[in-house]
Amino acid sequence: MKKVISLLLSVMLVLSMAPAMAEESVYTTLYSGEVTSLNYLTTSTTNEFALAANVIDTLVEYDKYGQVQPSLAEDWENTNEGLTWTFKIRQGVKWVDGNGKEVAEVTAHDFVSAAKYILDAKNASGTASILYGAIVGAEDYFDATASDDPTVVASANWDAVGIKALDAYTLEYTLLAPTPYFLSMLTYVCFMPVYEPFVVSKGAEFGLATGNDTLLYCGAYYLSEFKPHERRVLSKNALNWDKDNITIDQIEYKYNKEATEISSTLYLEGEVDSASIDNDVATEWLADPVKAEYIRPVRQTSFYTYFYAFNFNPAKGLAAEYEPDNWYKAVANENFRKSFYAGFDRVKAMTITDPDNAEELVYNTITPPYFVNSNGVDYVNMGDLAAITELGADTFNPDAALDYKAAAMAELKDTVKFPVLVYMPYNTSVSGWAEESQLVEQQLEGLLGTDYIDVIIDGYPSSGFLNSTRRAGNYCIIKTNWGPDYADPQTYTDIFREDEKYNYTFLSSHEGIKDLSGEYYNLVNAAHAVTTDIEARYLAYAKAEAFLIDHALCIPFGVGSGGYTASRINPFTQQFAPFGISNERYKGSVLLDTAMSTDMYYDAMDQWETERDALDND
C-alpha cells in the first residue's frame, strides 16, 4: 500500500510541475438564417460565402490595414501589356476533410478545376459572369455549355479559356483587357480552388447543406460540425499554411430563429460572445453605467450599398392579389417613380438603424463614398455624380413629390387604378427591418396619400427569404443590397445587368422603358470599354450611374449598419477590404477578455488609423 501511495504522490508531483495546458480560444455567436448551400462555387449570397471565406483560402488576402498579402499564391507577375497574370502557388498547402485530416495537396490545377465548374452553365453558378467578364474564352465556353444542342455542348473548348495550370505550382490567367483591379477580384468566391477528384466522387451531393462531409477545406478553419438549424462549428485548421496567425481556435454558431431579439440577453448571461444591439437595447444599456461598458459602435468595414429597388417584371412572381398588371403600368411612369424618390424621407428611415447619426449613414449614390478615387477625387464626386452627391439628404422634397404625384395621376388616369398597391416584403430576422418598413409605409402614405398608393408590408423568415421575395420577383419595392466583388465601379453595375443574372429589379424586362434601360446599358458598355485611363473610366461610370438615379430607376439609401454592438472581438484586428470576402474572415482576429467599450473602440480606431497612415507614408 505504501508503494502505491508513494507512486501516486510521485505522479501528482510530476503533474503539478508540468506546464498548464493552454485553454482553447472559443468564440460563440448566434445566427437566425441557415445557409441553403455550402457550394461556394455556385453561391452569390453573403450568408453563404461568409462561411466559405473561413474554410477556403484564396490566392491573395488583405491584412487588417487593407494591404494585399500573399496567401495561396506566394508571388505573382503581370505581363503581356497587362493581359497575363502568373501566380506561383505555395507548396505544401493541404486539403483537409471535416475531421481536419489531410486529403491532398492544393495545386494550380485546383483553380482551373474550380473555374471549369463555375463556367459550366449546368452548374448554375451565381458568379460565372465575373469570370467570363474578365477571362479570354470564358464566355464562349459558358455559352456552349448553356446550349440545348448536344453538338454545341460537345464543342465547348476549354483549351481556349485563359485559365491554365502551367505546372503543379504555376497558374496563369489571360484577360480580355488590361484590368488594373484584377488582384482585388481574387478574394471573391469564383477565384477559389476546388479538389476535382472530391467533386467527382460526391457528384450531386457536392456542397449540399446537409453536413460537413460535402466539402473539403483549405482555409484557416474547417467545418467540423454542421447540423442545419441547430449548430455549426468552425475549428482551427492545424494544417493551414498560416496556422500561427489563426488566433481563435473555434467558432461556434448556435441557431435560433429569434437570434436578433435574444442575443443581448444571452450575452449578459455569458452564453454568447456577441450580440445584436437594437435601438431600444442600446438606449437601455447606455443609460446603465455597467452595461454601457459592454457595447461599442458598429465598425463600418464593408462597402455594401443598400437601396430600394423597383420590380420592373412583376409578372415573374408577384401574387395576383397585389395586382401585378397595375404595378407594371405604374412603374413604367417616370413621374410615378420620382414621387417615391422625392417623397422618401431616407434620414427618418435610417433612424431605425442609428437614431444618433442617421444622416451620416445616408448617401445618394449606388456606389458608396470612399470606395475608389482617381487622383485624390472620390468617385462619387466625379462627373455627373458630383451634383447628386452634393444634394446630401436634400433628395427628400415633399413639394416636388406631390408635384410628381399629380403629374403621374394625370398621365396614368386612363390606364392605372388608384391607389396603386405597393407590396414591400422584409426579413423578420434582420434587426430593425420590420420597424423601418412600418415607418416607410406610414411616411410615404402620409405624404403621398392613400388615394395614390397603398403600401403593404409583409414579413418573411430569414431562411429562404431571398428566394421567396427578390429573386422570385415577389415584390413591388424592396430594400436590397450589394457588396463589391473588386475595386472598380463596374462591380456596382452588375445588379442591373441586361441579362439579369442576379435578378435585381429585372430592369431590362419592362417593354415600356426600353429606351431608358437601353440608354443606361449603352452608357455602362461605353464605360466597360475604357480599360487603361482610370479617370476616364470612372467618369464614364459616373455618367451611367447618374443616369440611373436621375430617372429614378432605383432609390439609393445608404450603409446597411450602424448603431451599437456587443462583441469580444477587437474589430481592428480583422482583415479589412472594401470588396470580396476579407471582412468575413476570422483569421487574425483577437478575442478580448471582455467586450470592447465605446472608449476602447475609439482608442483602438485612432491607433489603427495612425498605423495605417504610417504604412501609406512608407
pLDDT digits (tens, 9 = 90+) for 85-101: 999 999 999 999 999 99
Q: How far is CA 143 from CA 7, 77, 125, 155, in A?
A: 76, 30, 13, 11
Rounded distance between C-alpha atoms, residue 568 and residue 587, angstroms: 15
- Answer yes or no: is pLDDT of 3 > 60: no
**Mean pLDDT throughout 444-463?**
96
Residue 21's pLDDT is: 37
Q: Which of 11-25, 363-377, 417-431 has the lowest mean pLDDT?
A: 11-25
pLDDT digits (tens, 9 = 90+) for 53-69: 999 999 999 999 989 99
Residue 299's pLDDT is: 85
Rounded distance between C-alpha atoms, residue 185 and residue 7, angstroms: 63
Residue 376's pLDDT is: 84
Residue 559's pLDDT is: 81
- Answer yes or no: is pLDDT of 2 > 90: no
Residue 302's pLDDT is: 67
pLDDT digits (tens, 9 = 90+) for 328-358: 999 999 999 999 999 999 999 998 887 777 8
**Mean pLDDT throughout 452-472?**
94
pLDDT band, residue 1 (cuts 50/70/90)? very low
- Answer yes or no: is pLDDT of 4 > 50: no
pLDDT band, residue 502 (cuts 50/70/90)? low
Is the distance from CB of 89 to CB of 107 less than 8 angstroms? Answer: yes
Which range has the top average pLDDT, 173-187, 241-255, 421-435? 241-255
pTM score, two decimals? Answer: 0.74
Residue 14's pLDDT is: 32
- Answer yes or no: is pLDDT of 8 > 50: no
- Answer yes or no: is pLDDT of 6 > 50: no
The number of residues making up the chain comes to 618
CB contact set of 6 (below 8 Å; sequence gap of 6+): none
Residue 457's pLDDT is: 98
pLDDT digits (tens, 9 = 90+) for 428-439: 988 789 999 999
Supply the angle between the helices 398-412 and 334-343 in degrees, to the nearest 10. 160
pLDDT digits (tens, 9 = 90+) for 356-413: 778 888 999 999 988 888 888 999 999 999 999 999 878 999 999 999 999 999 999 9
613 vs 212, more confident: 212
Residue 613's pLDDT is: 81
pLDDT band, residue 531 (cuts 50/70/90)? confident
Reference 39, options 118, 141, 119; nearest CA is 118
Rounded distance between C-alpha atoms, residue 114 and residue 110, angstroms: 6
Rounded distance between C-alpha atoms, residue 596 and residue 525, angstroms: 46
**Can you read off the three cell numbers belonging to residue 37?**
448551400
- Answer yes or no: is pLDDT of 501 > 70: no
Rounded distance between C-alpha atoms, residue 494 and residue 485, angstroms: 10
Rounded distance between C-alpha atoms, residue 517 and residue 513, angstroms: 6
**Can you read off the three cell numbers belonging to residue 101?**
485530416
Strand partners, 424: 457
Residue 22's pLDDT is: 47
371 vs 448, more confident: 448
Domains and CATH numbers, the chain: 37-223 (3.90.76.10), 258-301+562-578+589-617 (no CATH), 305-558 (3.10.105.10)
b (16+ CB within 10 A) / e for 17-36: eeeeeeeeeebbbbbbbbbb
Residue 545's pLDDT is: 98
CB contact set of 112 (below 8 Å; sequence gap of 6+): 163, 164, 165, 171
- Answer yes or no: is pLDDT of 317 > 80: yes
Count CB atoms within 10 A of the CB of residue 92: 8
- Answer yes or no: is pLDDT of 598 > 60: yes
Q: How do strand 250-255 and strand 231-236 relate by DSSP bridges? A: antiparallel
- Answer yes or no: is pLDDT of 496 > 80: yes
pLDDT band, residue 561 (cuts 50/70/90)? low
Q: What is the DSSP letter of 574?
A: S
Reference 368, options 307, 443, 421, 288; nearest CA is 307
Average pLDDT value for the chain: 91
Reference 386, options 360, 365, 361, 362; nearest CA is 365
- The two most distant CA atoms of the chain are separated, in Å, by 106
pLDDT digits (tens, 9 = 90+) for 191-237: 999 999 999 999 999 999 999 999 999 999 999 999 999 999 999 99
**Can you read off the three cell numbers belonging to residue 237?**
485548421
Reference 193, options 93, 327, 263, 274; nearest CA is 93
pLDDT band, residue 552 (cuts 50/70/90)? very high
Q: What is the DSSP letter of 381?
A: G
- Answer yes or no: is pLDDT of 9 > 60: no
- Answer yes or no: is pLDDT of 186 > 70: yes
Given CA atoms 564, 570, 575, 576 in this order, what sign does their dihedral have? positive
